[in-house]
Amino acid sequence: MLIDFFYTLRAAKLPVSVKEFLTLLEALKADVVGPTNPDACTMDDFYFLSRTALVKDEKHFDKFDRAFAAYFKGVEMIADFTKPIPADWLRQELEKILSAEQLANAPKLDWDELMETLKKRLEEQKERHEGGSKWIGTGGTSPFGHGGKNPQGIRIGGKGGNKSAVKVWDQRAYRDYDDTQELGTRNIKVALRRLRKFARQGNELELDLPDTIRSTAANAGWLDIKMIPERHNNVKVLLLMDVGGTMDEHIQRVEELFSAVKSEFKHLEFYYFHNCVYDYMWRNNKRRFAEKFETWDVIRKYNKDYKLIFVGDATMSPYEILQPGGSVEYNNEEAGAEWLQRLTHAFPKFAWINPEPQGVWQYRQSISVIQQLIGPRMYPLTLKGLEDTMRMLSK
């Protein structure tokens, strides 16, 4: 079974060698994880052992996680029939189709009422609830919880489905975009090359053939080699990328874009945000709570020569943009709209690239809000959209 696991990792483009695989087998034989009884070794133990033995660079952790999950999905349940079936393997029976009358009667509160009511529910509720229209739970029409339906509520944990929550209360782990993704990046690179400004800077590393020929001829045939600095794209790009949540649907396309941008622009700085930019950003999703970069510092650090490019689907509750405290993870003191205006004022050459199909933009209220804030500078993540973006930024 583990030989197939090894080939699964290789198929996922992980640089796993035979020597590393043999190290894993030796560790299992030596009972490195768990007691001497092999039956006591849990799947978590094997996961951490195999990741330690097979993955040498943390940038490959996400690829490993996906390959591991794809291969071992169901192994824990099959191996031990005494354990209950995990809840996330079952369909949510409470995720039912509600009638039009039930939806019409679902409680609908404005922002202040919603937050105040949630505070009271947290103080009053002592047990889990399923269904219903009042308590925090799953299913039903309550404004709080997940798995149910409400035209305007707060999703607490769980996976979103209807995208109707005005706030999401959930601390999630995001992953960095893979900048080594090459599949499908060729046409993207061609589109990005419209934003080029070459300059010769740095050490003299390139042969100047015309000058060498002229100098050699003028020197009576004695070779006189002339060198000049290499030509580099001198454009500076500040890339701010939305990550997590609804952006998970666009990971592959954004990775292709990110990989192409890193290849084309020598002067590139990038940061991550979630849904909307607030008072801080981060560069590594695994350390995003420990290593924060204040947005004010980013604005001060880079001058107006940088081209500012946002990459995000702009799909969220409008409250996340317009309301202090609208962030899905903490109570931001200032609205996201304030930070967007500061950034676009600091970097006059800016654009927003949206991976959502352009045909649905008109149905997303938050996209309309972003467009009102930045003007006609939102472009779709298509080849034509990228060409139009580069053309606009190069003016």
What band does 171 get if pLDDT is binned at 50, 70 and 90?
low
In contact, 178 and 60? CB cutoff 8 Å? no
Nearest-5° Cα angle at 257, 252 to 259: 95
Residues 274 and 325 in one domain: yes
In the chain, % of residues over pLDDT 70: 64
Residues 388 and 258 in one domain: yes
Q: What's the confidence (pLDDT) of residue 259?
A: 87
Mean pLDDT for 352-357 is: 94
Q: Which is more confidently placed, 156 or 311?
A: 311
pLDDT tens per residue across span 38-85: 455 677 788 888 888 898 887 788 888 888 887 776 444 334 433 444
Low-confidence winner among 153-157, 165-169, 357-361 (lowest mean pLDDT) = 165-169
Residues 259 and 117 in one domain: no
Residues 207 and 348 in one domain: no
Eight-class DSSP state of 234: -
Low-confidence winner among 73-87, 163-177, 293-307 (lowest mean pLDDT) = 73-87
Mean pLDDT for 183-196 is: 66
Mean pLDDT for 163-185 is: 54
Mean pLDDT for 278-299 is: 92
Residue 340 exposed, middle or buried by CB count within 10 Å (0-12, 13-18, 19+):
buried
Q: What's the confidence (pLDDT) of residue 152?
A: 52
Alpha-carbon distance 288 to 86, whole Å? 29
> Is 28 among the domain residues?
yes
Q: Which residue has the tokens 């944990």?
A: 157
Q: What's the confidence (pLDDT) of residue 141?
A: 57
Residues 6 and 139 in one domain: no
Alpha-carbon distance 232 to 308, whole Å? 20
Alpha-carbon distance 303 to 393, whole Å? 16
119 Cβ contact list (under 8 Å, min separation 6) = none
Residues 245 and 359 in one domain: yes
Residues 254 and 377 in one domain: yes
What band does 89 get if pLDDT is binned at 50, 70 and 90?
very low
> Is 295 among the domain residues?
yes
What band does 183 get if pLDDT is binned at 50, 70 and 90?
very low
Domain that includes residue 212, residue range: 203-232
Residue type, 121: R
* pTM recorded for the entire structure: 0.53
In contact, 187 and 259? CB cutoff 8 Å? no
Eight-class DSSP state of 105: H
> Is 80 among the domain residues?
yes
**b/e string for 134-173 if b means 16 or more Cβ within 10 A?**
bbbbbbbbbbbbbbbbbebbbbbeeeeeeeebbbbbbeee
Q: What's the confidence (pLDDT) of residue 108?
A: 56
Whether 203 has a pLDDT exceeding 70, the answer reads: no
> Is 315 among the domain residues?
yes
Q: What's the confidence (pLDDT) of residue 158?
A: 52
Domain count within the chain: 4
308's tokens: 């500012």
Pairing of strands 350-354, 307-311: parallel
Q: What's the confidence (pLDDT) of residue 36?
A: 47
Residues 151 and 276 in one domain: no
pLDDT tens per residue across span 236-258: 899 999 998 899 999 988 988 99
Q: Which of 87, 114, 136 is the last residue of a domain?
A: 87
In contact, 138 and 94? CB cutoff 8 Å? yes
Residues 354 and 215 in one domain: no
Q: What's the confidence (pLDDT) of residue 67?
A: 83
> Is 92 among the domain residues?
no
Residues 247 and 382 in one domain: yes
What band does 355 get if pLDDT is binned at 50, 70 and 90?
very high
pLDDT tens per residue across span 335-345: 999 999 999 99
Mean pLDDT for 267-289 is: 92
Residue type, 22: L
Residues 258 and 159 in one domain: no
Whether 281 has a pLDDT exceeding 90, the answer reads: yes
> Is 178 among the domain residues?
no
> Is 93 among the domain residues?
no
> Is 218 among the domain residues?
yes
pLDDT tens per residue across span 95-151: 444 555 555 555 555 656 666 666 666 666 655 555 555 555 555 555 555 555 555
Q: What's the confidence (pLDDT) of residue 172?
A: 56
Mean pLDDT for 303-312 is: 94
In contact, 314 and 354? CB cutoff 8 Å? yes
On average, the pLDDT of the chain sits at 76
Residues 389 and 242 in one domain: yes
